[in-house]
Structure 1
C-alpha cells in the first residue's frame, strides 16, 4: 500500500504497445470528464481518505502509558515523540499520501471545469474542487510544517502546494513557505466558497456544503489569527438564533442511549452537529481504547473531573470500561468491509466528523475572546455548557467572570476564558485527535512518562512538534524537516 511519490495522476499512460488495444476501451465512465455529473463523481475522492486520530491523539496529553495494551506502531512512536516508522493506514505517511491523492482528484476536476466547452455549467463543481484542494493543503501544512506565526511564516518551510495535474512519473516540487501555503489556501477558499451549491449534492454531509466550507474558513482564520473573519464565517453556519438545537444533545437524548446506540449515532449524517464527514480506512475504531498509550483513569479524571460550571459532565455517563484501564467513549465506530463475501479478512473504515457545529462555536468563542468581546465569548461557552452538564440549570451552572477567575485562580478574564474553551474542547474531542491542534497553536508543553521511568518532554519550540515528511517525498525534491 506504500505510495512511492507524493502525487499520482488519475490518467494512466500506456507502458507499451501491447497495452494499446486494452487501453482503447474506457475502464470507467469517468475517464472522460465531459459532464458536470462525471466531475462530481470524481470529486467524491477529493477528500483525504485517511485518518489522523491515531497519531494525533497519541501525540497529545490525552494519553498515558498503561504498561500493557495493543501494540500499534503509530501509537507507540507518536507517544515517544519518535518519527513514525509505519506507512500503513493510521500513520502520518499514509495521511500525507492520502492528502495528495485528494489534491490530485481536485486538480483533475478543476482542469475539466476550466477546459469545458460550457464552463458556466461546472461552477458548482469548480467551487467544491477549490475548497477541497484548500482543505487538504491546510491539513498538510498544519501537521508537517511549523504552526502559523505571522512573525516567522514567511521563512518557515511549508509543504508543496500543487495546482496542476501531474502528468510525469516524478515531478519536482518546492516547499516554499508557510506564508505562501496560507496565501494559496486563502485564494482557493475565497474563490471556491461562493460557487458552492448545496442542492448539487445527493449526500450533502460528505461534501463541502456552504456550512461546512464556512466552518473550514472559521478554522483557517483562527489559525491565521484574523479573528474578525472567524466570527464572520462562524456566524454563517448558525442558521438559527438558538444554537443549542444544532449541538449534540449529550445531557438529554444521548443520556438515554446505550453504548451501541452511541456508536451508531455519533458519526451519522442525520446528526445536525456533523457538518462534514469523511470516510477513512482505519483500525482506530478497533483499538482506540485498548492501545498501550491511551486514556487511563488518571487522564479520565483530569479531563472529565471538575469544571468551571460546578456541574457534572454528561460525558462521564458514556465512559465505558473495556478491560483493565481501558476507557472507551463510544464515538468511533468501525465498519468492516470483507475482501469478498466469504473472506475473513478485509479493511476497517471509520466515518470521521471533519467539521462539527461544536468546533465552529468554540472557534467563534475563542475569536470573540481574542477581540476582547468577552461577553459574547461567555455567551458562546454557556450555550455549549447548557448541552453538556447533567441537569443543567442556568441559575447554578452559568459561567460567569467570577466563576472563571475563582476556578482557575487567575485575575485575567481573557486568559480564563481561553482556558475554559481549551478545557471544554479537550473534553469534547477526547479520543478523536483534535487536542493536538490546540497544543500546536498554543504551544502547550507536554510531558509523557513511561512505566519504565522514562520522561519525555515536548517543549513549546521542540522540532518534534512538526511531523516528519515521508522519506519517499525526497524523490520529488521535498526536503525533510530538521531533527
Structure 2
C-alpha cells in the first residue's frame, strides 16, 4: 500500500527540463514509474521545481520593506508584517512548511531508489549528489524558519523539525532537536561532496547543484553555526571554482540575475511579484546606502513619489539562491571573527571596488584600513544588508546576530518585534499541526 501511495503521489506532476534557452521551461514526461537515468532526472527536476518561495515572506517580517496599505494584496501579508502568528486571517499567506517536505520527498526517491536501480556512471553520481545537496538545503531552511537559531550550548535541547529520510507516507514524524537536524544537514553535504562532479552548472540549468553551489551552501551553514574556520574553508573552496564579481562601474546590471557571472545557484524566487507590487523600500533599508557613491542604489530602487520601489525581484530571470558576492562577504566576516583583520580588510576592499564609484572607494579605503575588529564586523554586516536587499538573507542574518527590535506601522497603528523576540522563530503552520499532532 505504501508503494502504491508513493507512486500515485509522486507521478501526478513529474516534470523534466527541456530547454536551456528557456530557463526552467518544464513539461510533463508521461512516465509512470522511474527506471532510467532520464526518468530519475525528471523526478529531481520536479524536486527543484517545487522548491518554495518562502524567502519572500521572511522579508515581510524583517526591516527591508513597508507594505502599501492601499494595495489589494495587503490582506495576504498584513499578519506576517505585524507578526500575528497566533490568530492570523485565514487568507494570510502561510510559510511553505509542507512544500519544503515535498522537495525532500523527491530527493528521498533519488537517494533511496536511484542508487539501487541505476548503473554506475558519473551522471548517476551527479544526480544523487544533487539530491543530497537539495535535501540538505531544504532541511537547512526548515530548521532556520521553525527552530531557534543554532546555539551549540542548547542545540541538543532546542526543538527542531521532523526528520524524514525514507518514503513512508503513513508514518507520523516527531520533531528532532536542532543538533540532530544540523548533523543530518552536514551528513548530506558530505555525501553530496563525494558524488558531485560538475564544478559549475551552465547557464539555463544553473538551478541545479554543482560543487561550487555545495561549497557555498556549506559556508552559509557553518556561518550560521558560528563555525568561523569551517565557514571560511568552505568559502575558499567555492571561490576556487567561482570568484568573478559583477563590476557595477562597467556593467550596470543586477548581480542577482541568473545569467550573470556571479550566479552559482539560481533556484529560488526570493522576492515574488505580488509582494514587490504591494510594498515600498523601508527607510531603514534605503538609509544604509550612500545614494551618491553606492552604485547599487540606483539599480536596486526607483523613486515613487516620496518613497522608493524595488527594482529587484518579481522576475524569473532574477532567481537566485547563491552568488559569488556572498562568498566574499562570508570570507571577510569569518576572517574578521578569527581576528585576521588584514585578510578581512583586503577582501572587503576587493569587493567594494565593484560596488562604489571611484570617489566612494577612495573615501572608504582609509576608513576600512583603520577599523577595529568590531567596526569592521559592523561594516561587513551593513554591506550584507546593502548587497542582498530583498534576496531573502536579511531575516536570517538578524536571527543569527542581533535579533534587533523592529517596528512596523500599518493603518496608523504600531507593531513591535522586541529584541530577542520569540517570534524570530516561526510556529509550525496550523494545517501542519492539524495533520500531525506531534508538532
TM over 0.5: yes
Tell me the equivalent position of 1:343. Answer: none
Does structure 2 retain, via aligned residues, the 8 Å contact 1:206–1:277? yes
Shift of 1:42: 1.3
Q: How does 1:27-426 map to 2 (within 5 A)?
A: 28-47=29-48, 48-64=50-66, 67-83=69-85, 85=88, 91-93=93-95, 95-116=96-117, 118-119=119-120, 122-166=124-168, 168=169, 170-198=170-198, 203-239=204-240, 243=243, 246-254=244-252, 262=253, 267-278=256-267, 280=269, 284-291=272-279, 294-296=280-282, 298-305=283-290, 312-321=293-302, 323-334=304-315, 351-391=318-358, 395-398=362-365, 400=367, 403-404=370-371, 413-426=372-385
Q: Distance in 2 between matches of 1:378 and 1:248?
A: 20
Query: May I ask how many residue pairs the two structures share in their alignment?
Result: 415
For 1:214 and 1:460, locate their aligned partners in 2 and report how far apart those are by CA, in whole Å.
32
| Counterpart check, 1:473 vs 2:432 | yes
Are the aligned partners of 1:447 and 1:455 in contact in 2 as well (CA < 8 Å)?
A: no
| Alpha carbons 1:33, 1:39 under 8 Å: kept | yes
In structure 2, the residue corresponding to 1:327 is in which secondary structure?
Answer: strand
Shift of 1:164: 0.8
Whole-angstrom distance in 2 between the partners of 1:452 and 1:73: 12
The 1:295–1:270 alpha-carbon spacing in structure 2 relative to 1, beyond 3 Å, is closer
Alpha-carbon separation, structure 1, partners of 2:364 and 2:146: 40
Deviations 1:221-271 (A, max 9, x none): 111121111111111122379x4xx112223211xxxxxxx5xx6554331
Where structure 2 has 5 or more consecutive residues not aligned to the other structure, the ranges are 11-27
CA distance in 1, matches of 2:210, 2:111: 18
Cα deviation code 1:18-76 (max 9, x no counterpart) = xxxxxxxxx95543322222212211122353212432111112234665445334531
Question: What is the match of residue 397 of structure 2?
Answer: 438
Q: Secondary structure at the match of 2:339?
A: coil
- Displacement after TM superposition at 1:441 (Å): 0.3
Determine the C-alpha separation between the residues in 2 that align with 1:415 and 1:478. 45
The residue number in structure 1 matching 2:21 is none
User: Greater CA deviation, 117-126 or 431-440?
Assistant: 117-126
1:130 to 1:61, Cα distance in 2 relative to 1, 3 A: same
Q: Identify which range, 98-107 or 35-44, moves more after superposition.
A: 35-44
Give, in whole Å, the separation in 2 of the partners of 1:278 and 1:42: 16
Between structure 1 and structure 2, the one with the greater Rg is 1
Q: What is the CA–CA distance in structure 1 between the aligned matches of 2:347 and 2:140, rounded to whole Å?
A: 26
Give the TM-score, by structure 1 length: 0.77
Deviations 1:376-416 (A, max 9, x none): 11111111111111225755431545654xxxxxxxx2221
Gaps of 5+ in 1: 1-7, 15-26, 255-261, 336-349, 405-412
RMSD: 3.1
- Cα 1:138–1:301, aligned 2, differ >3 Å: closer, same or farther? closer
CA-CA distance at 1:182 after TM superposition: 0.3
- Measured in 2, the distance between the counterparts of 1:439 and 1:459 equals 12
Q: Deviations over 1:330-387 (max 9, x none)?
A: 222435xxxxxxxxxxxxxx74201111112111111111111111111111111111
Q: Distance in 2 between matches of 1:303 and 1:156?
A: 34
Question: Judging changes above 3 Å, is the alpha-carbon distance between structure 1 residues 87 and 117 closer, same or farther for their aligned structure 2 residues?
Answer: farther
CA contact (8 A) 2:264 2:323 kept: yes
- Residue aligning to 1:4: none
CA offset at residue 476 of structure 1? 4.7
